[in-house]
Structure 1
Amino acid sequence: MQHNMSWKEQAERFMDFMSNAPTAYHACDLLAQDFDAAGYKELYERDEWDLTTHNKFYVRRNGSAIMGFVIGENWTPGNGVGVVATHTDALCGRVKPISIKQPVDGYNLLGVAPYSGAFSSVWWDRDLGIGGRLIVRDEASKSVTSKLVHVPYPIARIPTLAPHFGAPANPPFNPETQMTPIIGLTSSKEVKAPTDEEKQSPMVGKHSIDLLRVLAKHARVPVKDILQVELELFDTQDPVIGGLNHEFIFCPRVDDKLCTYTAVQGFIAAKHDDRALNVVACYDNEEVGSGTRQGAQGDLFQCIVERVVAHGMDSSVANQAAEYTRQTYANSFLVSADVGHAVNPNFSDAYLEFHKPQLNYGMTLKVYPNAATTSDAVSMALIEEIARRTDNKTQVMHTRNDTRAGGTLGKFLASATGMRAVDAGIAQLSMHSIRGTLGSKDIALGTRFFRDFYSSWYEVDQEWKNGDI
C-alpha cells in the first residue's frame, strides 16, 4: 500500500483522503476501509470478542473514533503496548439542534455554532460545505442506523462587510448575529411545504425543509426516516500541491487528520514485533478538551487493553487481570501525535532560537514547560534512539518564555494509565486557520516515522528496563 509509493504518490493519496474526509465520521470510515483492505477484522464493543482467529483488529466508537491493534504472536499479559494517539476532529461549524432561522432581507440563514476556534476572520468569504451523519430508521429491517452524508458542493458562506462602510466593517463582531452563514435566497424558488410523509421526521420544523431534502437526496434516504442529524460546515476547496518545486501542500483540516492519516498508514505498513501489543488510537474531540466517551478522556484504549489482557490469560490466573494490566501499562510507550508549528519566516522572532521546526525535514518532538506536553528526559531519549536506529530525522519545538504552548491529548492518556509518553507531530504553517500548509514530503516522512516506531520500539525499550526508567 502506502509504503511502496513514491513521496509524491503518497502526497496525492493523502490529498484524496482529505478531500473525502470533511468530518471525523468520514475520516473514520475511510480508515476503516484501509484496515479492511489490509486484513484487519472489525470488532464491536457490544459483542464478545473472539481474538483467536486473527491477530489484527480495529474497533470504532461513535463513528468518530477508531483504533487498530495488532497482538504479537508471542505477546503475553504484562508485555507492553506501543501506541500512537491522534485526533480525527478539526475546527468547523456545528449545525445547531434547531438550525432554522427567520429570513433576513431576503436571505435564508443557517443556525451554526463554532467548534473550537472556527468562524474567526479566516473563515469569512470561504466556500463552506456541509456533511456529517444522519440517524435514520430503516423501515424494512425495523432498525436504526447511522448514515454518512457529504453534499458535494458549497451550500453556505459567511460574507464580510466591505471596508467602504467604515466602522461597522471593523471588529469586534458579534459571533451570534454577525457571523451567520447565508445558504440561499427566499426569492430563488418557491419552497414546497413539507408533505404529510416528510412530517413523520422529527427534524421537520427544526431544520429547513430544503436542507433536509438536500441531505436526504445525497444520503439516499427519505426525509421521513431521518430521526436526528449531526452536521458540520467546512472548507470545500480541495488540497493542492504548491510551491515552485512542489514543496508544499495547501490543505484544509490539517490539524489533525495529518497525523491521524500517517499514523494509520505507518501502523498498517509496520513489521510489528511479535512480543508487543501495538495500537493506533485515533480519538475525537481533542479540539474541545477530549472530555467525551470518544475522546482521550474516554476509556476506549483502556477497554482494548483490558479485554486483550483478560483474553490472553490462563484461567488459573484470571483473577490477577488487574495486576497484569498495570504491569502492561508500566511496560508501554505512548507517542501523542498532533501537528506542530513550523517556523513562519514572517514572524521568525516569535519562535525560540534553535527551536524552529522546518517543513519536509522530519518529525517534530514537542517539549513545553508547565506540563503542556508529556515529553521528559526518559521519553525523549527513547524516541530519539528509535529515530537514530531507523534513520529518521527529528527536530525539537519549545516556546519562548513570552508565549504559551497548546496542550494535546497525551496528558490525559498518560495520566490515566501511567504510560511513559512523548509528544510529537508533523510541522505545519497556519495552525487553526481554515486552510494550512505542510511539506509535500512530510506525508512519506511521517508515515515512515510511525512505521519504524511500531517496528522498533519494543526492542529498543528492552534497554530502558532499569529501575524507574
Structure 2
Amino acid sequence: MASSKEVMKTAAKEFLTFVNKSPSPFHAVEESRQRLLAAGFKELREQDHWNIQPLDKFFVTRNQSSLLAFAVGGKYKPGNGFTLIGAHTDSPCLKVKPVSRRVKEGFIQVGVECYGGGTWHTWTDRDLKVAGRVLVKNGKSIEHRLVDIDRPILRVPNLAIHLNRDLGSKFEFNKEEHLTPVLATCVQEQLETGLTSTKDVPDGCGQDGKHHPVLVELLSQELRVSKENILDFELCLADHVPATLGGAFEEFIFAPRLDNLHSSFCALKGLVNSCGAESLINDVNIRAICLFDNEEVGSQSAQGAGSMILEHLLRRISTNKDNMTAFEEAIPQSLMLSADMAHGVHPNYSSKHEDQHRPALHKGVVIKFNANQRYATTSITTAILREVAARATVPIQDFVVRNDSPCGSTIGPIMSAGLGMPTIDIGCAQLSMHSIREMCDISSVKQSVDLFTTFFEIYPEVFASMKF
C-alpha cells in the first residue's frame, strides 16, 4: 500500500502536468476541456438551444479563456440548488503589446504590458517563452490556434550592480522602460536573414510590421502557417523552466501560476472525481465549477466573474416551462466555494501576519475572513464548510489580515453580490504569491481535491441539516 506521502506526491505530480501544459489561460481552458471530455462530459455552445436532463454532464467555454462545467444530479428538479466552486485561470504576467516592435542599441526587443499586480522584479534575468492564442485565416474561415514556443527566446536583463550601487539594497525600476525583453540582436538577424530591423512601424502594415518579423516568423513556424495568414494574437510571456517538486524531502511545489491554476485544477479534479461515484445518481443538486478569466485585473470583462456569464448559464440550466422561478428558488439553497490561493506565514516576514491567524504549509485548507467584505465568508458558510471538511478528514485553518495591512480580494464578493448566493472564500497556503515562481506544499493538492470531492457529494445533505 502506498504511503501517505506517496499519495500526496502522486496528486502533486498530476497538478505539475496540468500547470506545465497551461502557460496561458487559453491553454488552461483547453487542458481542462480535454480532461472533461475524457471523463465523459460533452461540450455545449452558448448560442445553441440546450436540453438538460438529470445525470447529464456538460461544459461550455467563453473566449476560450473561461470555462463552466456541470453535472446534473439524478434526482434534480428545477428549483433545487447548485453546489458550486469558482476559481480563475489567469495569473499576473507580461503580455505582448498590440504593436510590440522595438529596436534599441542594436537589440531587437518586444514591447510588453504588465497584466495584473505582478512582483515584476522577479521577471528579470529569467529565461522566458511566449504562449497564447493566434487567430489564423484558413481559406474563408478564421481559426483559433494555441501556440507555445517552448524554448527560451526572451529575457529581461538586469542592470549590473556596478552601474547602480543601490541595487544591492533596493530595486527600483520603471515598468515601461526597464521591463522590455530582448529577443535578438540586429547583427545576428542580418546574418541569419539578410534583413535589418528598424524601429519604424510601416503604415498599413500586417503583423510582421507591428511586431518584429523575427517574432512573427517564430509563430509562423510553430503553427505551420504562412505569416500572411496570421490575423492577430494574444501572447503571454512565461517562465520556460517547468514546475517541479522541490525541497530536501520533495515536500514543496515550485511553479509558476499557482495563483490560481492550483485551485482551478483541484476544482476540476473534484468535480470529475465526484461524478465517478454513485452519489451523483442520488444527488438533488447541480454540481458545477466556473473557471473565470481576468480575476487579476478586476473581473470586469465578458469572460470575467463580474460579467453576467454565470447567472445566464445557471438560469439556462435550472429554469423550465413548469417552474419559471426555479433559479430564484435555487439560489438560497446553493453554496459557492470561492477558491483562490492564501497567504502562508513567511519565515522571513512573520510580522506581516496577525498573531492568531498564521496559515502554515501542510496544515490544511485556509478559510479567509474579512469584516469589510473583501472576502465573502460568513459564519453560516463557515459552519457548512467545517462540517464538509470534517467528513473529508481535511484540516482547516483560519486567516484574517492585520488591521494595519491592506487586504486583497477574490471573485467571492463579486459573485455573492451579483447572484445573492451564499459564498465562502477559501484557498491553500502559498509563498511568493504573484512572483514568476511561486511555492506551496504537496499536501495542498490532495487536501483540496478531497475537500472539493466531498463538498460535491454531501453538500445537499449538510444543507438540509441546517435548522434555521
**Rounded Cα–Cα distance in structure 2 between residues aligned with 1:46 and 1:193:** 47
User: Residue 153 of structure 1 is aligned with which of 151, 155, 173?
Assistant: 151
**Corresponding residue for residue 219 of structure 2:** 215
CA offsets 1:33-88 (integer angstroms, 9 cap, x no match): 10001000000111112324961001100000011101112111111101100000
Matched-pair contact (CA < 8 Å) for 1:366–1:423: yes
**Corresponding residue for residue 199 of structure 2:** none
Unaligned runs of 5+ in 2: 1-5, 197-202
**Rounded Cα–Cα distance in structure 2 between residues aligned with 1:350 and 1:462:** 40
User: How far is 1:300 from its partner?
Assistant: 2.0
Identity %: 33
**Corresponding residue for residue 116 of structure 1:** 116
User: Residue 290 of structure 1 is aligned with which of 290, 296, 299?
Assistant: 299
Aligned-CA RMSD value? 1.9
**Rounded Cα–Cα distance in structure 1 between residues aligned with 2:287 and 2:54:** 18
Matched-pair contact (CA < 8 Å) for 2:54–2:75: no
Q: Which amino acid aligns with 1:110?
A: V
User: Residue 396 of structure 2 is aligned with which of 394, 398, 401?
Assistant: 394
Matched-pair contact (CA < 8 Å) for 1:252–1:435: yes
User: Residue 242 of structure 2 is aligned with which of 229, 238, 242?
Assistant: 238
TM-score relative to the length of structure 2: 0.92
When residues 363 and 119 of structure 1 are mapped into structure 2, their CA distance, relative to the original with a 3 A threshold, is: closer
Matched-pair contact (CA < 8 Å) for 2:91–2:260: yes
**Rounded Cα–Cα distance in structure 1 between residues aligned with 2:119 and 2:86:** 27
**Rounded Cα–Cα distance in structure 1 between residues aligned with 2:55 and 2:461:** 23
**Rounded Cα–Cα distance in structure 2 between residues aligned with 1:61 and 1:358:** 36
TM-score relative to the length of structure 1: 0.92
User: How far is 1:465 from its partner?
Assistant: 5.6
Q: Which amino acid aligns with 1:218?
A: E
**Rounded Cα–Cα distance in structure 1 between residues aligned with 2:180 and 2:452:** 41
Match of 1:399, SS? coil
User: Residue 204 of structure 1 is aligned with which of 181, 195, 208?
Assistant: 208
Q: How does 1:286-325 map to 2 (within 5 A)?
A: 286-310=295-319, 313=320, 315=321, 317=322, 320-321=323-324, 323-325=325-327
User: How far is 1:6 from its partner?
Assistant: 2.4
Match of 2:49, SS? coil
**Rounded Cα–Cα distance in structure 1 between residues aligned with 2:314 and 2:294:** 21
Q: Does 1:162 align with 2:164?
A: no
**Corresponding residue for residue 132 of structure 1:** 132
Matched-pair contact (CA < 8 Å) for 2:318–2:326: yes
Matched-pair contact (CA < 8 Å) for 2:346–2:431: yes
When residues 236 and 143 of structure 1 are mapped into structure 2, their CA distance, relative to the original with a 3 A threshold, is: same
When residues 226 and 168 of structure 1 are mapped into structure 2, their CA distance, relative to the original with a 3 A threshold, is: farther
**Rounded Cα–Cα distance in structure 2 between residues aligned with 1:166 and 1:151:** 34
Match of 1:152, SS? strand
**Rounded Cα–Cα distance in structure 1 between residues aligned with 2:189 and 2:111:** 21
Q: How does 1:29-428 map to 2 (within 5 A)?
A: 29-52=30-53, 55-101=56-102, 103-118=103-118, 120-139=120-139, 142-166=140-164, 171-190=171-190, 191=193, 202-270=206-274, 271=277, 272=280, 274-310=283-319, 313=320, 315=321, 317=322, 320-321=323-324, 323-428=325-430
Match of 1:354, SS? coil
Q: Which amino acid aligns with 1:59?
A: V
Match of 1:287, SS? helix
Matched-pair contact (CA < 8 Å) for 2:127–2:152: yes
**Rounded Cα–Cα distance in structure 1 between residues aligned with 2:164 and 2:66:** 46
Unaligned runs of 5+ in 1: none
How many pairs are equivalent? 448
Matched-pair contact (CA < 8 Å) for 2:391–2:454: no
Q: Which amino acid aligns with 1:127?
A: D
Matched-pair contact (CA < 8 Å) for 2:54–2:73: no
Which runs of 4 or more aligned residues in structure 1 lie more than 4 Å from their structure 2 counterparts after TM superposition? Answer: 167-171
When residues 218 and 353 of structure 1 are mapped into structure 2, their CA distance, relative to the original with a 3 A threshold, is: same
Moved more, 270-279 or 11-20: 270-279
**Rounded Cα–Cα distance in structure 2 between residues aligned with 1:465 and 1:73:** 25
